[in-house]
Structure 1
Amino acid sequence: MKRLLPVLAAAAFALAAPLPAPALADPLPPDASRAAHGGRTPDNLRELARKLGVRMGSAVNATALAEEADYRRVLNREFDHVTAENAMKWESVEPQRGVYAWEDADAVVRNALRNRQQVRGHTLVWHNQIPAWLTEGVADGSIDAAELRKILRDHIMTEVGRYRGKIRAWDVVNEVVDDDGNLRQSIWLTHLGPGYIADAFRWAHQADPRAKLYINDYNLEWNTNKINTTLGIVKDLKAQRVPIHGIGFQGHLGIQYDYPGDFADIMRQFTDLGLEAAITEADVRMVLPVTPEKLATQADYYKRMLSTCAANKRCAEFTVWGYTDRHSWVPDWFEGEGAACIMDENLTPKPAYHALLTVRRG
């Protein structure tokens, strides 16, 4: 569930050569050395990250990164972890078969490396935002199952290989379970069978053995059907010795719904399997117009989500799906809803931002 990226008016096309930039060292201490806050509230989210031992991240709008100095300044001040919102998705990086457009993805990574930010790669295998040449080729039969498998392998090896040593974690498979708890119908499941999931993890690990490899999904905070099926997938992959390292909870919530009170226990079910956890796409939308009461409820939801992560020693990251309402995906997808981010359109911190700063390690 993400905003679609408009077709680029102009793209810089390049061969799939590795990005020449130094790898970013991990700035966080190991879990064993996580320290609780003292009495002082942190000045910003980067300082909070150091205090909690949890990376604080944001999705990055590549156009805003390039064109808006205030957006870029706040991003680099507040966050020690970033995710390309759309720039690393398949339709963005390979709009024509064998012709690559790395400009936006490279820019996100370069900016991160310059500003001591780690990067989450998003996403390698998804049922959405697949380039038209691929979906049309499958539909008309010019791409058969054997070729589709090769194309998927080449895509994963090319993209992960390009950023080898520069991406902390990859969302390898995204939203592979539907709301009823079934494997999601997609060209991957239809033509390759369920084994495509294990293959994707193996190929990503081959391309970058040091990257953390995640399965990522929405509504895992509360949807029992999705939770149980995803737990089963993880157990099956681990039984096959497939290199899966993490579980991503997207964290798209709305204040018109009850907060998922069992979220901490659900996260623990996954981390008890040995997985690292992350909240990967957090936002908390509301039915407009905005009121002080709605902002207070939103702040409570954000604080409870981060507190869940901070209380679990295997939760490594809390990422918001865009930090400002100026570039939120929510209004385009949920009619009459919005104001989902921790800062408003003018980059002014909302109560949710200040609530995050008060979180203490559980």
Structure 2
Amino acid sequence: MHFSLSTVAAAAALPLLASAQLNQLAKAAGKLYFGTATDNGELGNEQYVKILSDTKEFGQLVPSNGQKWFAIEPELGVFNFTYGEVVTKLAKKNKQMLRCHNLVWHSQLAPWVDSLTWSKKNLTEALIRHVTAEAKHWKGQCYAWDVLNEALNEDGTYRNDTFLQVLGPSYIEIAFRAAAAADPHAKLYYNDYNIESPNAKSASVRKNIVGMLQKAGVKIDGVGLQSHFIVGSTPTIDEQISTMRSYEKMGMEVAITELDVRLEEPETAANLAQQSLDYKSSVGACMQVDGCVGITVWDFWDPVSWVPDVFTGFGSATLYFANFTKHPAYYGVVEALKNNTGKGHHPHPGHNGNGDHHGGH
């Protein structure tokens, strides 16, 4: 029997596609990465680390907690990068891209930030010092920084935290300017939840974060959509595409930064099937928007998910069950990635990285 070269080549490619994993598929479709958050505590599990370190599966890592204020500056002016170095060094070792998270957030602060009495002058100095020291420490290693996390209320107003109370909205500009000066080649992001569909909060991202910074001539490169969703109430694919494109039209890069879809326990065939559709919708939305550069899940293994500790009765939010078998949602993600393989442009990073309550996550 005679086979043409093209037939042989196609046959050879089939097993590759069949066995292709998430990052491999995302990159084949023109995205920069499919990644995951991880934290120091789970790195003692050998099977977990094997999956985490497989660059066909995950091409990018985010430290879940190690770069947050409480870990980095536990006392005023005293910096400790030890916690954050664990995941960042692992990414470097594995040649995975690194997203860095986060520089300014109202939660998981060191206690002194909220307890001291501040003037505009000394809080400005403390804010610049923190952002500068942290961003400089990882200078050149981060593809992107989540400079500011969750600064908006659900109605789109600014969240009333210590920074807003003392400095007003100018603290946002101060933080982004300091980050740009300290790590000029990193992409600078605003990151938040419930900004994935048309609503008051996503409108405020455009007006009161991106628009405000652009008018002031301050560098901002991207909007991170945390995408912490609930099975059966995830925004539609069309809503997600429309919202991503609204940021893209402002010149923003977009990324899904903390994706998980929690279900009400117990697991059933029905809610796991719906979870698969919900994951597929979110990943599929990113695949349809050129400006969406990649997807990060907020850890991939159910036992280390933040969800059960925060949402009573909910869990099973990730792509891998406790026994390391895959949720049906994993295959929903694969389907979304495969359906768009080869489509879209191939975005290029600005440089080569090494490679809450709502999550905030």
Is the Cα–Cα contact under 8 Å of residues 219 and 251 in structure 1 kept in the other structure? yes
Q: How many Å separate the matches in 1 of 2:198 and 2:113?
A: 32
Q: Which amino acid aligns with 2:34?
A: M
Say which is worse superposed, 47-56 or 313-322, in terms of deviation: 47-56
Q: Which amino acid aligns with 2:215?
A: A
Runs of 4+ displaced beyond 4 Å: none
Counterpart position of 1:153:
128
- Tell me, yes or no, if structure 1 residue 79 matches structure 2 residue 55: no
- Tell me, yes or no, if structure 1 residue 289 matches structure 2 residue 260: no
Counterpart position of 1:344:
321
Secondary structure in structure 1 of the residue aligned to 2:280: helix
**Shift of the alpha carbon at 1:288?**
0.4
Q: Which amino acid aligns with 1:82?
A: L
Counterpart position of 2:42:
64
**Shift of the alpha carbon at 1:44?**
1.2
Aligned to 1:100, which of 79, 88, 112?
Answer: 79
Say which is worse superposed, 185-194 or 349-358, in terms of deviation: 349-358
> Residues 57-81 of structure 1, C-alpha deviation per residue, up to 9 Å, x if partnerless?
101111212x222111111112101
Q: How many Å separate the matches in 1 of 2:253 and 2:232?
A: 30
> Residues 86-141 of structure 1, C-alpha deviation per residue, up to 9 Å, x if partnerless?
1100001121223332222111111101111111111111111110122111xxx2
Q: How many Å separate the matches in 2 of 1:107 and 1:293?
A: 39
Q: Which amino acid aligns with 1:309?
A: C
Q: Which TM-score applies when normalising by structure 1?
A: 0.85
Q: How many Å separate the matches in 2 of 1:229 and 1:344?
A: 37
Counterpart position of 1:254:
230
Q: How many Å separate the matches in 1 of 2:316 and 2:142?
A: 30
Is the Cα–Cα contact under 8 Å of residues 217 and 248 in structure 1 kept in the other structure? yes
Q: How many Å separate the matches in 2 of 1:355 and 1:172?
A: 31
Secondary structure in structure 1 of the residue aligned to 2:207: helix
**Shift of the alpha carbon at 1:46?**
2.4
**Residue 314 to residue 331, structure 1, CA distance change in 2 (3 Å):** same
Counterpart position of 1:330:
307
Q: How many Å separate the matches in 1 of 2:40 and 2:99?
A: 14
Q: How many Å separate the matches in 2 of 1:173 and 1:134?
A: 16
Is the Cα–Cα contact under 8 Å of residues 232 and 275 in structure 2 kept in the other structure? no
Counterpart position of 1:190:
165
**Residue 118 to residue 86, structure 1, CA distance change in 2 (3 Å):** same
Aligned to 1:313, which of 290, 297, 306?
Answer: 290
Report how many aligned residue pairs link the two structures. 320
Greater length-normalized contact order (CA 8 Å, ≥ 6 residues apart): 2
> Residues 156-189 of structure 1, C-alpha deviation per residue, up to 9 Å, x if partnerless?
0000000000000001111111011111111011
Q: How many Å separate the matches in 1 of 2:322 and 2:115?
A: 38
**Shift of the alpha carbon at 1:262?**
0.9
> Residues 202-246 of structure 1, C-alpha deviation per residue, up to 9 Å, x if partnerless?
110100110000001100112611011111021221122110000
Alignment of 1:143-222 (within 5 A): 143-222=118-197
Secondary structure in structure 1 of the residue aligned to 2:206: helix
Percent identical residues = 35
Q: Which amino acid aligns with 1:101?
A: N
Is the Cα–Cα contact under 8 Å of residues 91 and 131 in structure 1 kept in the other structure? yes
Aligned to 2:112, which of 133, 142, 157?
Answer: 133
Counterpart position of 2:335:
358
Q: How many Å separate the matches in 1 of 2:323 and 2:173?
A: 43
| Structure 2 residues not aligned, in runs of 5+ | 1-12, 344-361
Is the Cα–Cα contact under 8 Å of residues 302 and 317 in structure 2 kept in the other structure? yes
| Structure 1 residues not aligned, in runs of 5+ | 1-37
**Residue 230 to residue 144, structure 1, CA distance change in 2 (3 Å):** same
**Shift of the alpha carbon at 1:256?**
4.0
Say which is worse superposed, 347-356 or 80-89, in terms of deviation: 347-356
Secondary structure in structure 2 of the residue aligned to 1:357: helix
CA RMSD across the alignment: 1.4
Say which is worse superposed, 162-171 or 252-261, in terms of deviation: 252-261
Q: How many Å separate the matches in 1 of 2:96 and 2:219?
A: 25
Secondary structure in structure 2 of the residue aligned to 1:213: strand
